[in-house]
């Protein structure tokens, strides 16, 4: 089941929340900053042992002080206009997050809208890629949550979701 919600991802009681991190995995602004603040300083300490993460890949850490058991950090692409492999990299970020979740027995997982903040990926195009990957993994998970930061983002995801349903016929 895929659920689209307006939520602060740091408050969700799921097996794993996904972080839209940067290559260092050591924290930043946006959702990354919020997750590091809520998890506490141990997340940064733990991530220092991981040695960073290339764009499109994912790494897993304990959730520390978060209600979620794990944080899966992935790095989405910076938007440079769309001709620099951004779509493939964003898709990889979602798919590799799902794969590492499966490897760790995770059944409930929440995602933010990766790359659509500081990294400036156009929101509708990003939602189409996110929901496409989510549909492919839907039957492998008990619950997949899209944690939107605003009502506007909820509307974008709902609209794209309806497009997918219609295309399915």
Please state, as a whole number, how many other Cβ atoms lie within 10 Å of the Cβ of residue 13: 11
Q: What is the spatial order of strands in the sheet that 16-20 belongs to?
A: 2-6, 143-148, 108-111, 16-20, 70-74, 58-62
Residues 63 and 156: their CA atoms lie apart, in Å, by 29
32 among known catalytic residues = yes
Taking CB under 6 A as the binding criterion, the range among 4-12, 46-54, 99-107, 157-165 that sits at the site for ligand AR6 is: 4-12
Residues 144 and 136: their CA atoms lie apart, in Å, by 11
Restricted to residues 36-75, the positions that interact with ligand AR6 (CB under 6 A) are none
Assess 92 for contact with ligand AR6 (CB under 6 A): no
CA 88 vs. chain centroid, Å, equals 15
Left (φ > 0), alpha (ψ -120 to 50) or beta: where does 52 sit? left
In the list 117, 135, 154, 164, the residue contacting ligand AR6 (rule: CB under 6 A) is 117
In the list 50, 60, 87, 118, the residue contacting ligand AR6 (rule: CB under 6 A) is 118
The residue (of 65 and 167) whose beta carbon lies closer to ligand AR6 is 65
Residues 103 and 47: their CA atoms lie apart, in Å, by 19
DSSP state of 3: E
In the list 31, 43, 100, 101, the residue contacting ligand AR6 (rule: CB under 6 A) is 31
Taking CB under 6 A as the binding criterion, the range among 8-16, 50-58, 60-68, 155-163 that sits at the site for ligand AR6 is: 8-16
Assess 112 for contact with ligand AR6 (CB under 6 A): yes
Residue 169 C-beta: closest distance to ligand AR6, Å: 31
Catalytic residues: 32
Residues that bind ligand AR6 (CB under 6 A): 8-10, 20-22, 28-32, 34, 76, 112-119, 147, 149, 153
């Amino acid at each position: 089941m895929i659920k689209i919600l307006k939520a602060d991802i740091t408050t969700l009681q799921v097996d794993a929340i996904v972080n839209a991190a940067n290559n260092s995995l050591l924290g930043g602004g946006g959702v990354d900053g919020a997750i590091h603040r809520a998890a506490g300083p141990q997340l940064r300490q733990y991530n220092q042992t991981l040695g960073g993460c290339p764009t499109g890949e994912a790494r897993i850490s304990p959730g520390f002080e978060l209600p979620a058991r794990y944080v899966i950090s992935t790095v989405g692409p910076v938007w440079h206009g769309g001709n620099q492999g951004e779509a493939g990299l964003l898709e990889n970020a979602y798919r590799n997050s799902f794969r590492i979740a499966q490897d760790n027995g995770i059944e409930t997982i929440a995602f933010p809208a990766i790359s659509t903040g500081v990294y400036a990926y156009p929101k509708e195009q990003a939602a189409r890629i996110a929901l496409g990957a989510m549909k492919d993994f839907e039957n492998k998970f008990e619950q997949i949550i899209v944690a939107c930061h605003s009502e506007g983002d909820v509307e974008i995801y709902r609209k794209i979701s309806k497009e997918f349903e219609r295309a399915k016929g």
